[in-house]
Amino acid sequence: MSWLVALAVLSALIFFHELGHYSAARFFGVYVEVFSIGFGKKLLSFQWLGTQWQISAIPLGGYVKMKGQDDSDPTAISSDNDSYTTKKPWQRIIILLAGPLANFALAWVFFYAIALGGPQALSPIIGSVAKESPAANAGLQKGDIVRSINGERITEWNELSDAVKSSIGTLTLQIERQNMVHLLSITPKITETQNIFKETVQQRMVGIAPRRCHPYARPQFYRNHRLRIQANVRNLFSHFSKCSETSYRHRTRF
C-alpha cells in the first residue's frame, strides 16, 4: 500500500512539473503535441485543447512534447510560428524553467496550507489580569510576555500553564514589557474550579488569561521559515561552488 501512495505523490509532482512547461509553452504560443505522465508504452490517452494527454507504462517521470522539439531527431526543425524553435531565446528559457518553478510554487502552497490549517499555539502573552489575584499583586500587566519561569524558558502558553499548575511555592517570572526585562515573584493560589467533566477540582492559579490572537504570530512564522529557506538555498549554492572548485583543482593537479 505504501508504494501506491509513493507512486501517487510522485505522479502528482510530475504532473505539476510538466504542467509548468505546458502552461509556459501555451502562453508563448507554442503548440504542445503530447503531455505525458510516465515514459514508454502509452496506456491511456485522450485529446483536449489540441494536445494528446496520456499516461504511459513507466511512471518514473514525464514529458511535454512541443512542436519543433524532437530529441530523437534534433535536425527536425520547424519554422512555423507555433514552433518551439522559432521562439526567442528568453522565451525558451522561461519554458524550460517553468517546470521547476511550478514545483517550487506547489511547495509554497502546501507550506502556507499547513501553516494556516495546523494547530496554532498561543504565545505566552498575558491578555488579561484578574483583579486582586496573585498576578495583580505581583505586578503583572496586560501585554506582558513571559519569557521564563524559575529559569525554564517559556515559548507557549501551555508551558506557562503547566508550570503554574505543577508549582510548589513561589515562582520567579522573567517577563518582557516594552522591550524591558523584569523579574517578578508570584505565589499561585489554590482555587476550586471545574474540569472538562464538570468535576470540582483544586488547582493552582495566578489569575491571568492569554491573548487570544497575536497579530504578529503568523507573519513571524512565515518570516522565520522564509529566512530558513533562503539560508538553505545559499548553502546549496555555496556547497556547489566549493565542489566545483575542488573538482577543478583535482583536474589541474599533476
Distance CA 226, CA 104 (A): 13
Please say whether the beta carbons of 46 and 10 come within 8 A. Answer: no
Task: Specify whether 18 is catalytic.
Answer: yes
Distance CA 67, CA 138 (A): 76
Q: Dihedral sign for Cα 122, 128, 130, 134, please.
A: positive
Please say whether the beta carbons of 25 and 95 come within 8 A. Answer: yes
CA distances from 227 to 114, 118, 223, 234 (A): 18, 20, 6, 10
Question: Which residues are CB-neighbours of 52 under 8 A, at least 6 positions away?
Answer: 33, 34, 35, 45, 46
Please say whether the beta carbons of 37 and 64 come within 8 A. Answer: no
Q: Which of 18, 152, 159, 245 is catalytic?
A: 18
Distance CA 69, CA 83 (A): 8
Distance CA 99, CA 76 (A): 24
Among candidate residues 27, 62, 32, the one with its CA nearest the CA of residue 47: 32
Q: Could you give the residue numbers annotated as active site?
A: 18
